[in-house]
Amino acid sequence: MSRSLSPRATAAAPRWPGRLRSLAFGGDYNPEQWPEDVWVEDVRLMREAGVSMVSVGIFSWALLEPTEGEYDFAWLDRVLELLHDAGILVDLATPTAAPPAWFSRAYPESLPVTAEGVTLGIGARESFCPSSVDYRRAAVRIASALADRYSDHPALALWHVHNEYGAHVGPCYCTASTQAFRGWLRERYGTLDALNDAWGTSFWGQSYGDWEEITAPRRAPMPVNPAQQLDFRRFSSAEYLECYRLERDVLRELSPDVPVTTNFMATACPHIDYWHWADEVDVVTNDHYLIAEDPENHVHLAMTADLCRGLARGRSWLLLEHSTGAVNWQPRNLAKAPGEMRRNSLAHVARGSDGAMFFQWRASRSGAEKFHSAMLPHAGTDSRIWREVVELGADVGALAELQGTRVRADVAIVWDWEAWWGLELEFLPTVDLDYQERIRAYYETLWHGKVAVDFVSRDADLSGYRLVVAPSLYIVPGPVTRNLTEYVEGGGRLVVSFFSGLVDESDTIPPGPHPGGLRDLLGITIEEFHPLAAGDRVGVDGGLRADVWSERVVLRGATALRRFVDGPDAGEPAVTRHDVGAGSAWYVATRLDRHGLADVLEPALAGVEPLDVPAEVEGVRREGYLFLINHGDAEAVVAASGHDLLEGSEHDGEVAIPAGGVRVLRT
């Protein structure tokens, strides 16, 4: 099996949305859990709800291939015909996220192994090692059989490979993974001398004299070499990607006109570097679930949706799963309030999704997810959820003309999975460094400031943005330094948060003072870190308060805009600005709250026009359309004009949005 570090040439990707001529509305459909007389009722109710597409077969491997090499497609044939006759399209899955019991019994070495050396068992899903040759062979075989049978089926709109790669298992530390890791390292470094140099193996006497001495970084008496851990994370993401590619390639070969994807978990899966995956799918799709007890979970929803649009390089993407109500896996699974599902769904559409899909269509009676909400709940059609589903289906149908339109932003935030991995390593200056916390803090500040945001990779073309924010960009290789410097020199404005630019791609600190790769661009050096004790806070000029972090910043060309007023660095710079070429680079040396970040970002946002809407209203422009979502408890009024696609009403100069309501204007 190929283990190339770079994408290999494949057949030209088909265009999304393919056969779909409206926005996608529907959900995961698991008819195998029900007798056939229920299928007929399902299809009738799907039509009533306005369902346009359902995902089928995601966990059906044991039924489709009950014994090795022998297939039973009869039940799936009948399901697809029922759906097609009703005018409902199918997102057909390869069921490779749930290997059958017979497979695990026949190939026990395919089971995943944890960093502690524990082999995980069966009876759930994702019980496989991505490096297992036996698993890959079986996965390609079932994908080929499905494509042979259904490539020309008129209901087929999308191939759905696997399900949530790496979301719940992550890296595997078994013998097969160790052997594959050695091969990956040979390709990356070429020689052991190069590897020993990159990993700094002279520390703690770790130098390797033979490739066979290198192991997966299982639990050890002390933290394993951080460079080795980082490379293993890169390798593991690449191994899962190779599994996807193997299935995708056979699907493209046998059904070249049908788009192929796999569902991401964009902000919820630390194991997969989705920037390397995004160009390998024909449409970016995502599964998103609210954290029910988060009072601002709608802001996190917006952040995730914007990240998905970034992964799609600004093109349309698709929300492939979210929930109608409560989920089943959080500590306290709170139900959604009336109207919340509608706001959630339409907020995703506002931010670029060409549809709103759910897990799942009909609530399961057994299994681990029997208490998870569904489009058709246990309460049946005489329920609030069902009535809201039918109303939402009509809303999504009314928005069909938005298909393919884009969202534009003047501000970008750099999202980097490798930096996230780096901040999960041991022996950092404080346990309070949290990658997503800083990303979300800056995003929430901009969200509340009514500023549209894109997410970009660290090596993206930044020239189209007035402002770029890089929170916690811990790992900064040389090309990234050059990319950020060229952006600022060309007139861009860059805001960098603390603990950024400290190491290169091998987790090695460059010679000289911190912040390594960014010190010339920021015009500062850092003499010493002063992380704060739990609960301690420091003051910053202007009445700002901060916690977690302080440091001794030395100006090397930059100007101090704010200084610490107390704490270990009292009187020293806390916020700096360095003019470079036609642009400027700001540095924030502590963890400010939202109020403080808004104050600091204000001058950097000069020239960026926020949307003029009330505080409780989420406003998003999607080429030619304006979404207005009222998250408040009272009616809100916005100065806007246009035709409301949801209500059919005309507005000239003023729009009233009821409490918890949504307006979508063609402007």
Tell me the catalytic residues.
Answer: 164, 321
Q: Which residues pair with 37 in a beta bridge?
A: none
Return the amino acid letter for 625.
Answer: Y
Nearest in space to 33 (alpha carbons), one of 415, 302, 370: 370
Taken in order 419, 424, 425, 431, is the CA torsion positive or negative? positive
Tokens 């599994």 belong to residue: 243
Distance CA 277, CA 273 (A): 7
Closest CA to 353 of 299, 289, 408, 286: 286
Kindly give, in sequence order, each residue whose CB lies less than 8 Å from that of residue 3, ignoring residues fewer than 6 positions away: 180, 183, 184, 187, 238, 239, 242
Q: Which residues of 412-426 are buried (b: 16+ CB within 10 A; e: fewer)?
A: bbbbbbbbbbbbebe
632: number of Cβ within 10 Å:
15
User: Do 529 and 551 meet the contact criterion of CB atoms below 8 Å apart?
Assistant: yes
Omega before 360 cis (within 30°)? yes
Looking at the DSSP assignment, which residues form a beta bridge with residue 90? 54, 156
Q: 280 is written with which tokens?
A: 């390998």
Query: Which residue, among 617, 583, 596, has the nearest Cα to 468 in the 3D structure?
Result: 583
Burial classification of residue 102, based on how many CB atoms lie within 10 Å of its CB (0-12 exposed, 13-18 middle, 19 or more buried): middle
- In one-letter notation, the amino acid at residue 519 is R
Contact in structure between 525 and 551 (CB atoms under 8 Å): no
Q: What angle do CA 547, 448, 625 make, to 5 degrees?
A: 155
| Burial profile 324-349: b = 16 or more Cβ within 10 angstroms, e = fewer | bbbbeeeeebeebeebbbbbbbbbbb
- The rounded Cα 461 to chain-centroid distance in angstroms is 20
How far is residue 445's CA from residue 647's CA, in Å, rounded to a whole number? Answer: 32
Query: What is the spatial distance between Cα 333 and Cα 371, in angstroms, rounded to a whole number?
Result: 9
Q: Is the dihedral of CA 602, 604, 605, 606 positive or negative?
A: positive
Q: What is the DSSP letter of 376?
A: B
Strands 89-94 and 156-161: parallel
In our burial notation (b when 16+ CB lie closer than 10 A, e otherwise), range 166-203 reads bbebbbbbbebbbebbbebbeeebeebeebbebbbbee
